[in-house]
């Protein structure tokens, strides 16, 4: 399986079918002890390799999305949500601080602001990879109290910590690089926040946008 996996990942834009096939095989997994043990080994290998997985910076690169969806399917079939907590494999924290919201590490004081000004790098840079990461995070948090508690802890630390001094209405963070292909916000030009929100809502309507 390893040579096949390596061959699939060597063509990032064409490996989607490989991950879909493996995911469907996992979904049809029998209740046999041997099969489940093998699936557990695959899950452990995927999770351990996740921190080193290449970032998804191009919509055509399907490797990270495929890996995240495979982990989600394995977690669901084997009912191993517990491995998301910090006390175990720490997938929840990894998804939040590395794959989805790396700026959170700067806000929480884990990364110096001077370093954050160079642009923190998000691992899930494409729409499909971010959707896969969100689905995995939601599943882990929904079905495991420890994971949900960890997610809530991250949110509380980010939004209700004493070290956050955001007293100005117009907060312009000096960190976070501009996305290469994603959506960005509109700068408040002075009491234009409501107008900006209307523009953004209109833009998300395909007929109006065209």
CA 100 to chain centroid, in Å, comes to 4
pLDDT score, position 116? 47
pLDDT score, position 136? 96
pLDDT score, position 142? 94
pLDDT score, position 85? 87
| Nearest-angstrom CA–CA distance, 37 and 14 | 29
pLDDT score, position 182? 58
User: Do 177 and 171 touch, CB atoms closer than 8 A?
Assistant: no
Per-residue pLDDT of the chain (210 residues; tens, 9 = 90+): 567 778 888 888 888 889 999 999 999 988 888 888 989 999 998 999 898 888 888 888 899 999 999 999 999 999 999 988 888 889 999 999 889 888 777 766 666 555 544 456 788 888 899 999 999 999 999 999 999 999 998 888 777 766 555 555 555 555 555 555 556 677 777 778 889 889 888 988 889 888
């Amino acid at each position: 399986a390893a040579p096949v996996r390596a061959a699939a990942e060597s063509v990032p834009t064409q490996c989607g079918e490989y991950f879909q096939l493996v995911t469907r095989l996992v979904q049809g997994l029998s209740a046999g002890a041997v099969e489940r043990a093998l699936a557990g080994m695959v899950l452990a290998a995927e999770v351990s390799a996740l921190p080193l997985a290449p970032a998804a910076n191009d919509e055509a690169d399907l490797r990270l999305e495929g890996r995240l969806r495979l982990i989600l399917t394995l977690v669901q079939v084997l009912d191993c949500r517990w491995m998301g907590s910090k006390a175990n494999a720490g997938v929840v924290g990894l998804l939040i601080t590395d794959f989805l919201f790396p700026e959170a590490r700067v806000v929480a004081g884990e990364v110096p602001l001077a370093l954050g000004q160079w642009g923190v790098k998000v691992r899930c840079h494409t729409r499909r990879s971010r959707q896969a990461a969100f689905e995995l995070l939601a599943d882990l948090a929904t079905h495991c109290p420890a994971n949900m508690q960890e997610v809530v802890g991250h949110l509380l630390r980010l939004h209700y910590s004493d070290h956050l001094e955001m007293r100005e209405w117009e907060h312009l963070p000096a960190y976070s690089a501009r996305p290469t292909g994603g959506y960005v916000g509109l700068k408040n030009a002075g009491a234009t926040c409501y107008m900006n929100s209307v523009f953004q809502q209109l833009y998300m309507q395909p007929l109006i946008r065209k």
